[in-house]
Structure formats: structure tokens, C-alpha cells
């Protein structure tokens, strides 16, 4: 059962603890071996690991148009319409993130500027396993398309029959993916990072996965760009006496059912609401299909913390920097203005976290494990890079060159200084 604490009676370190968080180090040795093998043997290695880990002996990794066509039919018109509506919302939101470059022109002829350019080829990892995640397809692919990425390639593990879930394939087509490969785990990350006979290397890899995927992304980072190291799912709810306990319970469990390591935390100013929420959690768990996973998550990582006021609740929330933050108070907008650290924030009783997972528009690939202190949700910026350019006129160089040469010599870099001075000498000669 979820534990209830009074903030005045619990040590702060216990409030801020994230028990059961994944340790990437235990997977790194295995992952390094897999990556090395894929670099050496290419497709053969990827297929060998697919057989070993996914139980699937696969001959051709690339998903065919026929398979996607069949998936479209199987999922039905209603779900296709839902995917299209969600995709439209996600596109609308991420279009607002696009940035233009700029240019500065000075009277002396100096021109300075910045270009914002998309990466040419991006890889999207979509998890398989116990659940299908077409939402991840939309959330990770659409920002890349909006950014202008020319080639978006998707990898996802097949089932034992060599199939990808229909919902994932349908979402991929709607999002704009042209290449899909039946490959998962560290071997798929290695293929994206370094290339194989079938899978051309990419410039950036995004998307969540298990501990081995996370460790693989860490290992290839630097040779290829990555988005973030995704940890277990998290939700924190700030609530007062106006909150509905059953809503709170349902929302906490919406994240607890993801993973045994997921964390669900309620920080509440009202003791009665807190205790009623705990009881609602108990009742909902009894009927939840994924109750074993959710119950373990709640038992190990769940907390209900009773606090004196909203400011204390915000302090705890900011210290934890949760992936998802719900504000269930009488005036959620005023609380939002006090919040500094959160991946995505949901305001009011009619904005449950799953509306963000699937449909609203903001991205659901979010910083976890407290990294919302310095990281942001996945977005268009993750698929672009900035280049600066400089064009000095003869006049501008002559005006500032001596200062630059002096600067260089103060750093002990004479060749830098001479690169300037050789030009200044020529200008002086021309003027004489």
C-alpha cells in the first residue's frame, strides 16, 4: 500500500529519494560487447541478437509497404482518425517551436549571422515488449518532420512471429516515416549509430527504451547525437482540499502501471484528501489489469506527503523536478507561476496526465530522474543545429585587427596573431 507521510515528521532526504532507480552501469559491459559486435558484423549481428533477445529469426529487417497497408486496415478507421487528430495537435504545437536564423549588419561592412539547419538523418527508437506505443511514434517523429529532417528512420523490436504491432505501423505512416526496421535493444541503437548493410547511420537518435537501450545511447553518445537518458516514469501531484481523491488515485496509477520502477507522489495540503486518495488507490488496484506492476510501483516508490501549505508543496516538487506534474488546486495557474522544475505540467481536474501522453500536443518524451532541473521535453530543437557565419570587410578588419592580434599574443598564440597581422601589413602597404 502507498505510504503516507507528514512532511514535519519525515527527513527531507527520504522525501527526495528515488528508490529503485535504474543503474545504467550494470548494463554497460553487455552493451559495449553488443555494439562492438554490430560494428564488426553488421546485419548478421543485429539478426543474431534479435533471435537471442526477441525470439525471432528474421531474414529481412525492413518493414514492407504491404505490411503497413495491412496494419492500416486492421487498426480500423476510428483509430486512424484518432491518430490523425493527435498528429494534427502535435504538429500545431511543435510548429510554434521553429526558430529562424538571424543576421547582423554593421556600418563598417561586418556581417554576422546564424543559420539553423536540421540534421539530415534521424533515428527514432520505439519500444516494444508488454505494450505498444504508437504515441511514442507520433511524439518522436513529428518534431523531426517539423524541423525539416530529410530522412527519419524508425527501429522497433518485432514479436516472436517477426511482426510489428499494427498500431505502431499505422502511426509511423501518419507521422511520415519512410524507413522502418524490425530491430530493438542495444543492437538497434548500434546499427543507427554506426550503420550496417541495411541500416544507414543517422546523425541523431531519440526515443525511450529499457536499461539496455539507455546504456547503448549513452555508449554511442558523441559519435552520434542523442536526446536524453530516459529513466522510469514519474508523476507528482500537488493538491489541496478541492481535489477529487478518486481523480488523484487514477492519475497516480496511470504512471505506476508503466513500470515497477515508476514513481507516483502526491503532495497534499489536506489530510482528509490524502487519506481518501490512499483508499481510492487500494480499491482501483483491485480491478487494474496491470495491478501487479502498479502495486509494486506504489509499494516501493509511491508516497503521499501531507504538507502545511502550497508553497511547501511547490518546494518539494521543485526539489524532485518530476517528469509529470499535475496541479489539482483551486487556482492551479497561480501555483504554476511558482513552479520552476517540471517536464510537463497539467493544470486543473480536467487535465489528467494521459491527455498529454496521447493527444493534447506538447511532447510526452520528457526529462526524468530529476533532470527537469536542467533539461527540456523533446522538441524541434532536438533535430536542428546552429551554424554561425562571419564576414568582415577590409575596413572592419583594419579597425579591430590590432586588438585581436594583441588578444591572441596574450594567450601565447603567435600564429593566431600573425594571421591578422599579415593582412594588416598588406592594407598598410596599399595605403602608402
Query: Residue-wise pLDDT tens for the chain (432 aa)?
Result: 898 888 888 777 777 776 544 566 788 899 999 999 999 999 999 999 999 999 999 999 999 999 999 999 999 999 999 999 999 999 999 999 999 999 999 999 999 999 999 999 999 999 986 567 999 999 999 999 999 999 999 999 999 999 999 999 999 999 999 999 999 999 999 999 999 999 999 999 999 988 899 999 999 999 999 998 888 899 999 999 999 999 999 999 999 998 888 999 999 999 999 999 999 999 999 999 998 999 899 999 999 999 999 999 999 999 999 999 999 999 999 999 999 999 999 999 999 999 999 999 999 999 999 999 999 999 999 999 999 999 999 999 999 999 999 999 999 999 999 999 999 999 988 765
In 294-350 the beta strands, taken as DSSP E runs, fall at 303-306, 324-328, 344-347
Architecture of domain 3-21+231-360: 3-Layer(aba) Sandwich (3.40)
Q: CB neighbours of 372 closer than 8 A, spacing ≥ 6?
A: 321, 322, 323, 341, 342, 343, 366
Beta-bridged to residue 206, according to DSSP, are: 124
Where in the chain are the domains? 3-21+231-360, 25-98+117-229, 394-431
Same CATH fold, 25-98+117-229 and 3-21+231-360?
yes
pTM of the prediction? 0.92
Taking a C-beta distance cutoff of 8 angstroms, is the pair 160, 54 a contact?
Answer: yes
Closest by Cα among 152, 209, 212, 164 to 186: 212
Q: In the chain, how many H helices and how many E strands?
A: 17, 14
Cβ–Cβ < 8 Å for 272, 304:
no
Burial class (CB in 10 A: 0-12, 13-18, 19+), 263: buried
Calpha distance 52→33 (Å, rounded): 14
Nearest to 372 by CA among 400, 343, 397: 343
d(CA 16, CA 30): 31
- Active-site residue identified among 94, 179, 257, 324: 324
18-32 per-residue burial string, b: 16 or more CB within 10 A, e: under 16: bebbbebeebbeebe
> What CATH fold (topology level) applies to the domain 25-98+117-229?
Rossmann fold (3.40.50)
Query: Residue 118: which residues within 8 A CB-CB, separation 6 or more?
Result: 144, 147, 148, 149, 150, 383, 384, 385
* 364 counts as catalytic: no
Angle at 292 between CA 281 and CA 127, to 5 degrees: 110
Kindly compute the dihedral angle of the four CA atoms of residues 55, 56, 62, 66, in this order, to the nearest 10 degrees: -120
Over the range 383-408, which residues count as b (16 or more CB within 10 Å of their CB) and which as e?
Answer: bbeeeeeeebeeebbbeebeebbeeb
Q: Which of 323, 326, 353, 364 is catalytic?
A: 323
Q: Is the dihedral of CA 75, 78, 84, 86 positive or negative?
A: negative
Q: Is 323 a catalytic residue?
A: yes
Closest by Cα among 205, 207, 261 to 230: 207
Q: Rounded to an integer, what is the distance from CA 390 to the centroid of its chain?
A: 34
Amino acid at each position: 500500500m502507498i505510504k503516507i507521510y507528514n512532511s514535519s515528521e519525515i527527513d527531507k532526504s527520504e522525501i527526495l529519494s528515488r528508490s529503485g532507480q535504474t543503474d545504467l552501469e550494470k548494463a554497460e559491459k553487455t552493451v559495449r560487447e553488443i555494439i562492438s559486435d554490430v560494428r564488426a558484423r553488421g546485419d548478421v549481428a543485429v539478426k543474431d541478437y534479435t533471435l537471442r533477445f526477441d525470439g525471432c529469426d528474421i531474414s529481412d529487417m525492413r518493414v514492407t509497404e504491404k505490411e503497413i497497408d495491412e496494419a492500416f486496415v486492421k487498426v480500423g478507421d476510428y483509430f486512424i482518425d484518432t491518430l490523425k487528430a493527435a498528429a494534427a495537435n502535435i504538429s500545431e504545437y511543435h510548429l510554434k517551436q521553429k526558430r529562424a536564423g538571424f543576421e547582423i549588419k554593421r556600418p563598417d561592412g561586418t556581417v554576422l549571422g546564424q543559420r539553423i539547419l536540421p540534421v539530415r538523418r534521424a533515428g527514432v527508437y520505439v519500444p516494444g515488449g508488454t505494450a505498444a506505443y504508437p504515441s511514442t511514434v507520433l511524439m518522436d517523429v513529428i518534431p523531426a518532420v517539423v524541423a525539416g529532417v530529410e530522412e527519419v528512420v524508425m527501429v522497433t523490436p518485432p514479436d516472436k512471429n517477426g511482426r510489428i504491432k499494427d498500431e505502431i505501423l499505422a502511426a509511423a505512416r501518419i507521422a511520415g516515416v519512410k524507413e522502418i526496421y524490425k530491430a530493438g535493444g542495444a543492437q538497434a541503437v548500434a546499427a543507427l549509430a554506426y550503420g550496417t548493410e541495411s541500416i544507414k547511420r543517422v546523425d541523431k537518435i531519440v526515443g525511450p527504451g529499457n536499461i539496455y537501450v539507455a546504456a547503448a545511447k549513452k555508449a554511442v553518445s558523441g559519435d552520434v547525437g542523442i536526446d536524453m537518458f530516459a529513466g522510469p516514469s514519474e508523476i507528482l501531484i500537488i493538491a489541496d482540499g478541492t481535489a477529487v481523491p478518486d481523480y488523484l488515485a487514477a492519475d497516480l496509477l496511470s504512471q505506476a502501471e508503466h513500470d515497477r520502477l515508476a514513481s507516483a507522489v502526491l503532495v497534499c495540503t489536506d489530510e482528509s484528501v490524502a487519506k481518501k486518495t490512499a483508499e481510492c488507490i487500494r480499491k482501483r488496484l483491485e480491478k487494474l489489469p496491470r495491478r501487479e506492476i502498479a502495486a509494486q510501483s506504489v509499494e516501493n516508490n509511491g508516497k503521499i506527503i501531507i504538507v502545511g501549505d502550497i508553497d511547501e508543496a511547490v518546494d518539494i516538487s521543485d526539489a524532485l523536478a518530476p517528469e509529470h506534474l499535475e496541479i489539482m488546486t483551486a487556482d492551479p495557474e497561480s501555483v504554476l507561476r511558482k513552479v520552476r522544475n517540471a517536464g510537463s505540467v497539467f493544470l486543473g481536474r480536467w487535465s489528467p496526465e494521459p491527455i498529454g501522453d496521447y493527444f493534447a500536443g506538447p511532447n510526452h518524451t520528457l526529462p526524468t530522474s530529476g533532470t527537469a532541473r536542467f533539461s527540456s521535453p523533446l522538441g524541434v530543437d532536438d533535430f536542428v543545429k546552429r551554424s554561425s557565419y562571419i564576414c568582415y570587410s577590409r575596413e572592419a578588419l583594419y579597425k579591430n585587427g590590432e586588438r585581436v592580434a594583441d588578444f591572441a599574443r596574450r594567450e601565447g598564440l603567435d600564429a593566431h596573431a600573425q594571421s591578422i597581422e599579415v593582412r594588416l601589413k598588406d592594407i598598410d602597404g596599399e595605403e602608402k
